[in-house]
Chain A
Amino acid sequence: MMLAGWWGSWGRRPGVLILGTLVALAAAQPALAPEDPFGITGNALEHPSIQYPFGTDDLGRDVFAGVVHGASTSLRVGATGALCAVLIGVLVGGVAGMRGGWIDQVLMRGTEFVQAMPRFFLVITVVSLFGASLWLIVLVIGLTAWPGTARVFRSLVLTTTERDFVLAARAAGCGDFGILARHVLPLALPVAAAHASYQAGGAILAEAGLSFLGLGDPSVMSWGTQLGFAHHMVREAWWMSVFPGVAVTLTVLGCNLVADSLAGRGAQA
């Protein structure tokens, strides 16, 4: 398998390490931070210590517990957003590339249209009209993130279907769907995986930005929410800002590194 080779490559290591830590942190949440991350556990503005490794915030909430809960939020946001974006992107790009003609024209115009929409403002508009729920936010992020993936997939399909083995398959009587499923998708797998990883990082950043502005889901702890709290306390409590910020940056970096190494594989394939 193509992905088996990727596993042995060097460039993936830091990225996989970071994302693995994230998953472990989210999985260990019941053990590490079982209590409500919004609950007050100690004095306000405690410096980082053994008891509170990341300190406490201005209301006495444990910053470490918030970061742990934020990990599972980010994981959900990244996975769902990426899944939405890549599924739609692969479908739109695949159909446009395979069918060509007016279907291609219409789909690509639609792609251009979605690409021209300011995503972040659309999410702000939707959230202010419908109220903030995590799933709604992730859905809007995912439903608007696919154009880049669709474009790449379309051109991938176009170049692949011109290759000799596809021509041979066609001559042997293989239909459009068969060619897409049997010949194009296996070649495109690393590219799709790279896009998924990249889109996950984008979704996590977008959700964090929204939560930072106070427009996120108020019942869910997110790194963005923590950074929003920290914003007013920068002078008093550096730890409120530094730990969640490092968490977001590392996570998105991990997603991008994994995406880069996968895209490198795709280019070789």
Chain B
Amino acid sequence: MRGGRRSVGRWAIDRVLLALLVVAGVTVLTFVLIHIAPGDPVYLLAGDGGSPAYYAEMRGRYGLDRPLPEQLGRYLAAIARFDLGYSFLFQAPVGRVLLEHAPASLLLGVSALLLGTLCGLSAGMASAVTHSRRIDALVRGTASALYAAPVFWTGQVLVLGLAVWAGIFPSGGMTTARESVTGFAWGVDVLWHLVLPTVTLAFPLAAVVARVTRASMMDVMLEPFVLASSARGVGWLRLVLRHALPNALVPVMTLIGQYAGQIAAGAALVEALFGWPGLGYLVLHASLHRDYPLVTAAFIGISASVVFFNALTDFVCAWLDPRIRLA
């Protein structure tokens, strides 16, 4: 592998440049949107209902009396310093508000990603390798339906069935409103509340993963090396899990990577539905209260995370399959 290390280095630089470009591009885009939106940008940046002195101060702070290119320069410089502005809804710096809401989002996102991947992979493999028409039809039908159903409706159906009628799970929130529950009991309580949002968010992911795994597995199972291994007397389970699966994983990983970056967006709907106090819920709240610094900062942050996950996916795929070159 001569020159392999150098190409990885180049690839990494390329990715970092793309990430910076995307973040800068999205920042410029939000800047342009704020300035072509109807109304004085100072109200968009500082909120309604302030005193004239406050607006004068904010005008000076954002340089709104300066020419546009200079304003854009200041805006970009502020974002580069991670100065994302001040949320008037929460009366706190935007960066801090985002960080406070990140753990809940992360918990929900990671659990949904794990559950969706696990279910999708098993269903897709079962569909591809068992040669059972019934299992195949069941998996394909379920996957098509779950992929088409909007999460904010499947969530409602789950609440209707498992919370309202059966009364097994809570219908929303992250904790039960009880005093002085701490430690282990608190953890169990949070997990109990986590179940329905996680299942809801995992549904469409499981559906696509199952579809792609099925197609990819079917292709790989027909390849000569699988036949050769089979002829050599490799056991069926080992053949599927050790020989075929790693080769079938690349398109699945690409998909999961794309999904991981976008999960914050899908989570906004699920978080709103279940009152889960994460980033998506936060952005929605901020947008309904016209808290633009918070909305635009979240937009920029989520774009950055999408680029990050895409790069991570490329890297994992190249590691899984050495034939893929990082480019």
* A137–B145 alpha-carbon span in the complex (Å): 25
Interface residue from B21, B272, B295 paired with A128 (Cβ < 8 Å): B295
* A241–B156 alpha-carbon span in the complex (Å): 7
Whether A120 and B268, one on each chain, are in contact in the complex, defined by CB atoms closer than 8 angstroms, is yes
CB contacts (< 8 Å) of A117 on chain B: these are 22, 26, 303, 306
Whether B156 and A122, one on each chain, are in contact in the complex, defined by CB atoms closer than 8 angstroms, is no
The digit string for B238-275, where 1 denotes a CB below 8 A from any CB of A, is 00000000000000000000000110111011001100
Whether A125 and B144, one on each chain, are in contact in the complex, defined by CB atoms closer than 8 angstroms, is no
The digit string for A118-161, where 1 denotes a CB below 8 A from any CB of B, is 11111011111111000000000000000000000000000000
CB distance from B167 to the nearest CB of A (A): 11
Q: Majority SS of interface residues in chain A?
A: helix
Q: Majority SS of interface residues in chain B?
A: helix
Q: A125-B30, A214-B288, A235-B164 are in contact. Are A249 and B22 (CB under 8 A)?
A: no
Whether B148 and A252, one on each chain, are in contact in the complex, defined by CB atoms closer than 8 angstroms, is yes
The digit string for A194-235, where 1 denotes a CB below 8 A from any CB of B, is 000000010001001100111100000000100100110011
Whether A116 and B156, one on each chain, are in contact in the complex, defined by CB atoms closer than 8 angstroms, is no
Whether B283 and A121, one on each chain, are in contact in the complex, defined by CB atoms closer than 8 angstroms, is yes
CB contacts (< 8 Å) of B144 on chain A: these are 253, 256-257
CB distance from A45 to the nearest CB of B (A): 15
Q: A112-B18, A130-B38 are in contact. Are A118 and B295 (CB under 8 A)?
A: no
Whether A245 and B156, one on each chain, are in contact in the complex, defined by CB atoms closer than 8 angstroms, is yes
Does residue A113 face the partner (Cβ distance < 8 Å to B)?
A: yes
Does residue B320 face the partner (Cβ distance < 8 Å to A)?
A: no
Q: Which residue of B lies closest to A228 (CB)?
A: B152
Does residue B59 face the partner (Cβ distance < 8 Å to A)?
A: no
CB contacts (< 8 Å) of A6 on chain B: these are none
Whether A118 and B148, one on each chain, are in contact in the complex, defined by CB atoms closer than 8 angstroms, is no
Q: A214-B288, A241-B156 are in contact. Are A209 and B299 (CB under 8 A)?
A: no
Whether A212 and B269, one on each chain, are in contact in the complex, defined by CB atoms closer than 8 angstroms, is yes
Whether B262 and A128, one on each chain, are in contact in the complex, defined by CB atoms closer than 8 angstroms, is no
CB contacts (< 8 Å) of B157 on chain A: these are 241-242, 245
Interface residue from A113, A208, A231 paired with B273 (Cβ < 8 Å): A231
Does residue B210 face the partner (Cβ distance < 8 Å to A)?
A: no
A209, A224, A252, A253: residue with the most chain B Cβ atoms closer than 10 Å: A209
CB contacts (< 8 Å) of A83 on chain B: these are none
Q: Which residue of B lies closest to A123 (CB)?
A: B265
* A231–B152 alpha-carbon span in the complex (Å): 9
CB contacts (< 8 Å) of B310 on chain A: these are 116
Interface residue from B150, B156, B159, B296 paired with A209 (Cβ < 8 Å): B150
B-contacting residues, A70-129, CB 8 Å:
109, 112-113, 116-122, 124-129
* Contact sample, A vs B, 17 pairs, CB 8 Å cutoff: A113-B21, A116-B306, A120-B268, A121-B264, A124-B284, A124-B295, A125-B296, A125-B299, A213-B268, A227-B156, A230-B156, A242-B157, A248-B149, A248-B153, A255-B148, A256-B144, A256-B147
- For the complex of A and B, list the 10 residue pairs with the smallest distance between their C-beta atoms, beginning with the closest: A245-B153, A253-B148, A252-B148, A120-B265, A129-B37, A128-B287, A249-B149, A118-B302, A212-B152, A241-B156
